[in-house]
């Protein structure tokens, strides 16, 4: 049991160090020797757990997937109106990008590794369902087509993530006075003015809607599956599988 716990800690350290390396230097630029040094693990210890850099990258992606899936499950299971949950989901995703190296690495690896899974595919179906529920409940103007609003959510999150990465790459001098999630919230305020009917309640999440943070992820985080959405969505989009 002690040996198993030690092995689990070693694997977790390697995955965390690799997430930071992949996030900072990309897949091609990440060095296994630097990952070992950052984790405090020998090269032999690394090969005990992972046969290649690709194998290690998949482990980092799996941790990132677990964080995103848990976020989707938690936000979609709430009792707030669907449009509020949609906005809250996108804001929480941006907070995960800001706070979790594994999520940032997941997004970067998606762009640099052919065939890597798309992180938006993990949450786009839930966004579709929430938008459709919002339309069914009269939270959207009749002219706001659900499939367009769901795609808009993807574009907003993707744009915020790209801007945040460029600012991080530029260094501390380029850091804005507000977080990427706060900027995304301000953008949503502008966008929602054209989506919701006049005199509708404010669809933005209250400050208490998204203050609870999930437990820090680790390499042993089990694969989770989002809670079933209440009914299937007839809308198809670029991140639907099948």
Average pLDDT over residues 31-59: 94
**Confidence band for 180, pLDDT divided at 50, 70 and 90:** confident
What is the reported pLDDT for 174? 57
Angle at 66 between CA 64 and CA 68, to 5 degrees: 70
At residue 197, the pLDDT reads: 83
Give the burial class of 154: count Cβ atoms within 10 A of its Cβ; 0-12 exposed, 13-18 middle, 19 or more buried. buried
First to last CA, the chain: 43
Contact 88, 80 (CB under 8 A): yes
Q: Which domains does the chain have, with CATH numbers?
A: 64-192 (1.10.357.10)
Asked if pLDDT for residue 55 goes beyond 50, the answer is yes
Q: What pLDDT was estimated at residue 179?
A: 84
Q: 168 or 208, which is more confident?
A: 168
Angle at 218 between CA 168 and CA 209, to 5 degrees: 70
Counting other chains too, the contacts that 38-42 makes at CB distance below 8 Å and 24 or more residues apart are 39/10, 39/13, 39/14, 40/13, 41/10, 41/13, 41/14
pLDDT at position 53 is: 95
CA torsion 129→135→136→138, rounded to 10°? 150
Average pLDDT over residues 192-203: 78
Q: Which residue has the higher pLDDT, 236 or 204?
A: 204
Q: Which residue has the higher pLDDT, 18 or 237?
A: 18
Span of 18-27, 194-203, 209-218 with lowest mean pLDDT: 209-218
Q: For the residues 68-76, what does the mean pLDDT come to?
A: 92
In which band, very low, low, confident or very high, does the pLDDT at 215 lie, cut at 50, 70 and 90? very low
Q: Residue 140: pLDDT above 50? A: yes
For the chain, what's the residue count?
Answer: 242
Q: Specify the pLDDT at position 201.
A: 67
Give the separation between CA 181 and CA 160, rounded to whole angstroms: 8
Q: Report the chain's mean pLDDT, rounded to a whole number.
A: 82
Residue 216 has pLDDT above 50, yes or no: no
Question: CA dihedral defined by 56, 62, 63, 68, rounded to 10 degrees?
Answer: 150
Locate tokens 């339309």: which residue?
135
pTM for the full predicted model: 0.77
């Amino acid at each position: 049991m002690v040996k198993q716990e030690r092995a689990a800690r070693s694997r977790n350290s390697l995955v965390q160090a690799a997430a930071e390396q992949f996030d900072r230097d990309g897949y091609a630029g990440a060095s296994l020797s630097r990952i070992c040094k950052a984790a405090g693990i020998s090269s032999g210890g690394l090969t005990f757990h992972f046969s290649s850099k690709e194998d290690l990258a998949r482990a980092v992606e799996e941790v990132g997937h677990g964080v995103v899936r848990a976020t989707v499950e938690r936000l979609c299971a709430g009792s707030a109106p669907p449009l509020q949950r949609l906005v809250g989901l996108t804001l929480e995703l941006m907070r995960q990008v800001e706070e979790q190296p594994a999520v940032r690495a997941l997004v970067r690896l998606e762009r640099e590794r052919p065939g890597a899974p798309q992180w938006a595919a993990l949450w786009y179906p839930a966004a579709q369902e929430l938008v459709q529920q919002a339309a069914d409940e009269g939270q959207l103007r009749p002219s706001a087509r659900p499939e367009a609003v769901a795609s808009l959510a993807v574009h907003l999150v993707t744009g915020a993530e790209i801007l945040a990465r460029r600012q991080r790459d530029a260094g501390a001098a380029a850091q804005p006075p507000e977080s990427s999630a706060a900027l995304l919230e301000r953008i949503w305020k502008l966008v929602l003015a054209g989506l919701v009917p006049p005199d509708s309640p404010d669809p933005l999440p209250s400050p208490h809607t998204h203050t609870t943070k999930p437990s820090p992820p680790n390499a042993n985080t089990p694969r989770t599956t989002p809670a079933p959405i209440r009914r299937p969505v007839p809308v198809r989009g670029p991140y639907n599988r099948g």
